[in-house]
Structure formats: structure tokens, C-alpha cells
């Protein structure tokens, strides 16, 4: 491993994370040597969008860094295909580094705490990146690479990263699914989802001046059982279960307040 700055990067994967990181790294002056992906179609698309090449074998590559942007269950297999001499980093929030440590290969974590969809451009400048590696020189190289993309770069243990990722699932994946359920519910009743936009904006805007504990409003916060019963009667199945579980959890949170 060279101790200089990382300049030549190979990207492994062609999903949402690979797409955005590759484009941002290129924008910051890094060289994307190639894209490797099991999915030839999306791999070729990503390579083409970056004016670089798509490769179908990892046998003879030699970048400064192989950035592994694939599902957790595919990381191990990718590592075993890479030549021993290539430093590599992966972008998973959950996979512990110790599960992947190998004698002859340099490996680290390069985890951006953000949601990426291919169709949506994104500003990475405030996105927290969490870095981990056993070798301090390599860790610093990864840190410096992340610093080209963001002003929020931190070293974090696998343990801390796992907790951050779980909390991210709560505030993004589950929140977005609530938006989906509300959208579906309104559509079923021929009502316009756009009516909820100012409320959704304010839900987030409140966090600038109030904690989530302080910002809570609504029937469960007011212990308004009549409204809770009316609303439960409008729902069924998983949506009803979710309503009941949230209501119980909010009631419990404010039970002595």
C-alpha cells in the first residue's frame, strides 16, 4: 500500500450508493478506473455515465482503492475475488470490520449516513462519513478521501456504526414508509397527497428549535382517546397494528407528563 493520497479508484457495485459516490468522487478530481458489477446492464450504464470502462473480472486490476458498494451478503465474495495487493473499503452501515479482516489485504470502512436514489441528485457536503480501519495510515487515507466529499467526517467503531445505521433506518426508511402509507390512504379516499407537504416540512423544521420529545403533538400526545378510537376504526391490518403500536408508545412516553 502506498502512503500517498488515493487517486485511482475502482468501484464495485452499480446500485444507488455506487452511482452517487462514483459521480461525486469523479467531480472532486478522483479517477474512476473502472466499474465492476454482477449486473452488467447497470454496471455498463454507470461506467458509461462516468466515461470509464465496465469490467467483468477483478483478476488484473490495480487501483489505489477498490470501493465496495454492494449488499452486505456479497462483500465477502467480492473480497476473495480481489488481488491481495489492493486496498479496499466497503460502504456498509452494519457489517463489522472484524468479520472481514484478512492477513494480506488492507480493508476499511467508508460509510456515508445518507439515503441515495439514483434518480435524485444529492449534496454530500454535510453528510456524515464514518471511517474505520486497523492500519492508521490507511484510515487517514480514507478519512482524507471522505473529506473531499464532505465536511462531516469521523472515525467510528463498527459498534458505533451499527447503531448509527439502525437509527438511520428508523428516521429514513420507516419515515418514508409512513409517507407511502399516508399517500396510499389518501389515494384510496380520492384526496390529494400534496395537502400533507407543508405538514411534513414543518415536522422536520421543528427539529431546529425543539427536541422530538418537545415537538410531539396529536391525539396520543393529548391522550385524546375519542379521536384514537375513531382513527383505529378507519384502519385495518398492518396499518391498524402500526397505529396501535405508535399510539401505545407515545402514550407510554408521556405517561407521567
Q: Which stretch binds its own copies (CB under 8 A): 46-54, 59-67, 140-148, 160-168?
A: 160-168
CA dihedral 77→81→84→85, nearest 10 degrees, is -120
98 binds its own copies (CB under 8 A): no
Q: Which is nearer to its own copies, 104 or 199 (CB)?
A: 199
Q: 239: Cβ–Cβ under 8 A, 6 or more apart, which residues? A: 181, 185
What is the grid cell recorded at 90? 466497503
Q: Which is nearer to its own copies, 1 or 169 (CB)?
A: 169
Nearest-approach distance from CB 46 to its own copies, in angstroms: 17
Tell me how far apart the alpha carbons of residues 104 and 80 are, in angstroms, rounded to a whole number: 11
The residues in 190-219 that bind its own copies, with binding defined as CB under 8 A, are 191, 195-204, 206-207, 209-219
The pairing of strands 31-36 and 8-12 is parallel
Tell me how far apart the alpha carbons of residues 176 and 183 are, in angstroms, rounded to a whole number: 10
Q: Which stretch binds its own copies (CB under 8 A): 28-36, 53-61, 67-75, 100-108?
A: 67-75
Q: Which of 28, 40, 101, 177 binds its own copies (CB under 8 A)?
A: 177
The residues in 117-146 that bind its own copies, with binding defined as CB under 8 A, are 117, 119-120, 122, 126-128
The residues in 47-66 that bind its own copies, with binding defined as CB under 8 A, are none
Closest by Cα among 85, 78, 19 to 47: 19
Amino acid at each position: 500500500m502506498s502512503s500517498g493520497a488515493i487517486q485511482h479508484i475502482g468501484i464495485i457495485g452499480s446500485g444507488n450508493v455506487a452511482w452517487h459516490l462514483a459521480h461525486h468522487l469523479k467531480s472532486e478530481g478522483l479517477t474512476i478506473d473502472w466499474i465492476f458489477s454482477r449486473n452488467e446492464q447497470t454496471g455498463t450504464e454507470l461506467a458509461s455515465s462516468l466515461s470509464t470502462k465496465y469490467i467483468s473480472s477483478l483478476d488484473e486490476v490495480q487501483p489505489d482503492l477498490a470501493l465496495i458498494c454492494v449488499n452486505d451478503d456479497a462483500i465477502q465474495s467480492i473480497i476473495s475475488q480481489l488481488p491481495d495487493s489492493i486496498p479496499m473499503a466497503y460502504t456498509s452501515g452494519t457489517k463489522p470490520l472484524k468479520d472481514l479482516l484478512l492477513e494480506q489485504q488492507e480493508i476499511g470502512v467508508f460509510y456515508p449516513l445518507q439515503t441515495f436514489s439514483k434518480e435524485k441528485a444529492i449534496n454530500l457536503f454535510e453528510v456524515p462519513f464514518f471511517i474505520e480501519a486497523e492500519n492508521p495510515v490507511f484510515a487517514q487515507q480514507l478519512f482524507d478521501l471522505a473529506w473531499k466529499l464532505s465536511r462531516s467526517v469521523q472515525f467510528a467503531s463498527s459498534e458505533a456504526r451499527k447503531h448509527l445505521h439502525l437509527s438511520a433506518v428508523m428516521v429514513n426508511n420507516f419515515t418514508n414508509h409512513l409517507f407511502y402509507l399516508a399517500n396510499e390512504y389518501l389515494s384510496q379516499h380520492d384526496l390529494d397527497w400534496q395537502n400533507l407537504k407543508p405538514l411534513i416540512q414543518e415536522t422536520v423544521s421543528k427539529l431546529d428549535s425543539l427536541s422530538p420529545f418537545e415537538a410531539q403533538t396529536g391525539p396520543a400526545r393529548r391522550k385524546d382517546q375519542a379521536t384514537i378510537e375513531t382513527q383505529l376504526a378507519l384502519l385495518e391490518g398492518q396499518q391498524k397494528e402500526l397505529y396501535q403500536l405508535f399510539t401505545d408508545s407515545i402514550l407510554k412516553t408521556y405517561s407521567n407528563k
